[in-house]
Amino acid sequence: MDTIFNTAQLRKIVAQWRRNGERIAFVPTMGNLHDGHISLLKHARGMADRTVVSIFVNPIQFGKGEDYATYPSTLEADQDKLTRIGLDVLFAPNLKELYPGGMEEDTRVTVPSLSNILCGEYRPGHFTGVATVVTKLFFSVQPDYALFGEKDLQQLMVIRRMVDDLCIPIEIVGKPIIREADGLAMSSRNSYLNDDERTIAPIIHQTLKRASTAANVPNADFREIEASCFARLKESGFKPEYFSIRRSSDLMEATLGDRELSILTAAWLGNARLIDNIQVNVDE
């Protein structure tokens, strides 16, 4: 596996692959790789002739007071994991490569409406930061496929909308959440949990499953379910931001008659902001 730090060098390699008629799969990450990332990368390797992974901690998707300065950096350990998988290229650009005009003056990519709800309400500007950096990475890597985990469901939908709206010829592939044995969704931020918090953390998934069961009955009161589950998280030691039952197609608030639902939550536990979701197909 080659580690590339320079965009121009990456584009030369990609151009050669294109001349050879090879297809490219891409997985963007912020590093500190766990088994959820590894699962995505193995799927990517099986989809295309060439596979690229990026590691870049994107400053403009972090808000004031968030963990940009302390986000785990484990490049050498990540390189070892990636080499064992057998990928072609690790792209690890610096700030100057992706923000040549400076972060304050740089062009932004914004997906309206979808970026301002749920996590977007509590992290203003976050999804603009995500859409901007992913667009830059797409133009650098020029993949046929880009893979994202469904744990960040809202992010996945923002990127799908962006690709559709901007007519970017890339197939966006979402893959299921990878969980620990006790149900906790794998995340780099799980490392922020202390031992006591780690014991509590699986309650977030248990609560989502409870909501899934409650939503899948005739005439379910979605707002009552949301309030009950929000309260359960709070009583368990979390500081929940939201617990919401949404229509899967566009993440708008679900109402009776909606059959494909996504139940999403974000909650703080100590220094870790945990997000998770579950999909529900309501019985006829």
List, by residue number, the catalytic residues: 37
CB 150 within 8 A of CB 171: no
- The label of the residue with tokens 């949301």 reads 226
Interatomic CA distance for residues 139 and 227, integer angstroms: 43
Q: Return the exposure string of 168-193: e unless at least 16 CB atoms fall within 10 Å of the residue's CB, then b.
A: bebebbebebbbbeebbbbbbbbebb
- The label of the residue with tokens 């996590």 reads 119
DSSP SS3 for 51: strand
Q: Return the exposure string of 7-33: e unless at least 16 CB atoms fall within 10 Å of the residue's CB, then b.
A: beebeebbeebeeeeeebbbbbbbbbb
